[in-house]
Amino acid sequence: MQIDDVAGVLGLVARAVRNFEKDGKPASAVTLTRLYDTSVDDLWDALTSSERLPRWFLPVEGDLRLGGRYQLRGNAGGTITACTPPTHFAATWEFGGGTSWIDVKLAAERGKARLTLEHTALIEDHWNQFGPGAVGIGWDLALIGLGRYLATGASVDHATAEAWMGSPNGKAFMRASGEAWRMAHVASGVEPASAKERSDRTIAFYLGETPTDVAHPGTGT
């Protein structure tokens, strides 16, 4: 995989960070919004079909309906907490012993389909160390895979994708994604120096520059 225009691809996604309380505890949500050149029905199917998810993301097992449990291979699992085809689903996102929450909405817009993905986490040690880029960079990577799949119909080759992530082009994308999340974090009201410290840690992890004995984002995306 090759991205000739890193800034242009990143610019297809609007990013935001929102700080609030969830169940009486400090929480933060990252939101990604992107318009895809397809129908809402097709986008819904690509996001929820056990046959199509592996073509751009990961194989999934489980009961993909309201109240059902799902498991992404080698990644997160959880419970589906809302499901209103073809416009909305939500689920717990359980990974590495922690639980966060995803909420996905689809809407028709100018003959295309708009995806809005929100990932919420409690503000605890992990968030304070890595910030929104810990989930944001991973979702940015997933959304470019989804875009390529919808545009070409070709399944993502995971070995090729992993090799690209280690290439100069892939590292440039992840670094720029981390910077975009840093700016969104500052826009949410976080002190700029603190936001930079967290984004620097996360970017270093994604670029393979973090020592093996240092905690890592472990987002599952």
String of b and e for 140-176 (b: at least 16 CB within 10 Å)?
Answer: bbbbbbbbbbbeeeeebeeeebeebbeeeebbebbbb
- Within a domain: residue 191? yes
H or E element in which residue 30 lies = strand 25-36
pLDDT higher than 70, residue 1: no
* Average pLDDT score, the chain: 92
**Per-residue model confidence as pLDDT tens digits over 84-111:** 999 999 999 999 899 999 999 999 999 9
- Within a domain: residue 218? no
- Within a domain: residue 214? no
**Per-residue model confidence as pLDDT tens digits over 156-176:** 888 999 999 999 999 999 999
> Tell me, what's the pLDDT at 158?
87
**Per-residue model confidence as pLDDT tens digits over 107-160:** 999 999 999 999 999 999 989 999 999 999 999 999 999 999 999 999 988 899
Confidence of residue 196 (pLDDT cuts 50, 70, 90): very high
Please tell me the distance from the alpha carbon of residue 159 to that of residue 164, in angstroms, as a whole number: 9
Residues 173, 10: contact at Cβ < 8 Å? yes
- Within a domain: residue 113? yes
- Within a domain: residue 219? no
- Within a domain: residue 215? no
- Within a domain: residue 2? no
If one counts the domains in the chain, the total is: 1
Among 80, 100, 130, 82, CA closest to 27: 100
Beta bridge partners of 114: 35, 107
| Average pLDDT, integer, range 65-86 | 97
pLDDT higher than 90, residue 41: yes
14: domain CATH number is 3.30.530.20
| Average pLDDT, integer, range 25-49 | 97
> Tell me, what's the pLDDT at 122?
95
Burial of 107 (0-12, 13-18, 19+ CB in 10 A): middle
Residue 144 to residues 12, 57, 82, 135, 141, Cα–Cα distance (Å):
9, 10, 25, 15, 5
Show the domain range for 202.
7-206
The maximal CA–CA distance of the chain, rounded, in angstroms, is 49
- Within a domain: residue 220? no
